[in-house]
Amino acid sequence: MNFRKYQHLERFGTSEVQNIELGTVYVFPKIDGTNASVWLGEDGRLCAGSRTRELSLAADNAGFLAGLQTGYGQQVYQYLQENPTHRLFGEWLVPHSLKTYRADAWRRFYVFDVAVDKSPEEIAHESDDKVKYLPYDTYKPLLEAHGLDYINPIKIIKNGDYDSFIHELQANCFLIEDGKGCGEGLVLKNYAFRNRFGRQTWAKIVTSEFKEKHAKEMGAPVHAERKLIEEAIATEFVTQALVDKVYSKIDLDGGFTSRKIPQLLHTVFYDVVREDCWNFIKAHKNPTINFGTLQHFVFGRVKALKPELF
């Protein structure tokens, strides 16, 4: 395995992470150290990286690689020997902008993502991402089994909004000394989300930026953790029979390939709107519907009913 750069976190409210809040979002505290990663090289040695490059003892990054030579580095090495395809991304907590962390928190490696490299076929089919990130519930017990530090979510929110995330931002005191305010910010992860380019992307909200801007500039708030009408419509009207029917029609017309997945998604959405619009208006008593949000949940429902294609 070679060095891989960690993905860029997109600001919540931008088009790159549009609709990331729809579904189940794991809200993680963002800590202010230096980005670091570890993996096993092809020769089986423990390798380390910063945000932009592979490290060496002669060209280290805030002493991270040197720190791996101490006790906790052996724990990381043992983890990777048991999980040789994994790559650990985390924060090496050394003084940066925020100086209010507890004394015992410094100079430790806090894992915030575990990834595996994609095959060339996966990269060509899905996007230009080089890695895929494992869900928190998958990697948490693996890290715990080796006593590794990791960043845990402070809240799990379904169908949240800016207000619900800001509430968690202001309450975030992960690793912060008592009475010293809140942390650097939040990272929002929806493991089922892919952005408009098909990338698995996370969003961030930074505390300093929030303090400088009014909440209205970041998007219109609605009710937190609500049951969205668009989700209910997709669950009710996107049936297995409908998805199978559309799939069969496409398959009969020249055979189904991965390139026809967008056609499947958009045709199911078209059929739901064309055939069932009056039905869901009656069933839900003239609801206000955001058709962009409805499309998001229809696509998600198709993926859930036809998982072998995705």
- Do 108 and 93 form a contact (C-beta atoms < 8 A)? yes
pLDDT above 50 (res 155): yes
Coil/strand/helix, residue 219: coil
Task: Tell me the backbone φ, ψ of residue 300, rounded to 5 degrees.
Answer: -65, -40
Q: What's the pLDDT at 249?
A: 86
- Pairing state between β 46-49 and 203-206: unpaired
Q: Are 52 and 5 in contact (CB under 8 A)?
A: yes
pTM confidence score: 0.73
Domain ranges of the chain: 10-218, 229-309
Q: What pLDDT does 279 receive?
A: 86
Q: Select from 165, 292, 286 the least CA-distant residue to 219.
A: 165
CB contact at 8 A, 222 and 161: yes
> Looking at residue 212, what is its pLDDT?
52
d(CA 20, CA 224): 14
User: Which residues does 289 contact at the CB level (< 8 Å), separation at least 6?
Assistant: 229, 230, 233
pLDDT at residue 258 is higher than 90: no
Backbone φ and ψ of 228, nearest 5°? -75, 140
Percent of all residues in the chain with a pLDDT value above 70, rounded to a whole number: 91
Tokens describing residue 148 = 């590794």
CA quadruple 32, 33, 35, 40: dihedral sign: negative
Phi, psi of 76 (to 5 degrees): -65, -45
Q: What confidence tier does 225 reach under pLDDT thresholds 50, 70, 90?
A: very low
Residue 128: its pLDDT value, please?
59
Q: Quick check: 210 pLDDT over 70?
A: no
Two tokens, residue 114: 């575990």
Q: Which CATH superfamily is domain 10-218 in?
A: DNA ligase/mRNA capping enzyme (3.30.470.30)
Q: Which pLDDT does position 200 carry in this prediction?
A: 92
Residue 180: pLDDT band by 50, 70, 90 thresholds?
confident
Please tell me the predicted confidence (pLDDT) of residue 216: 43
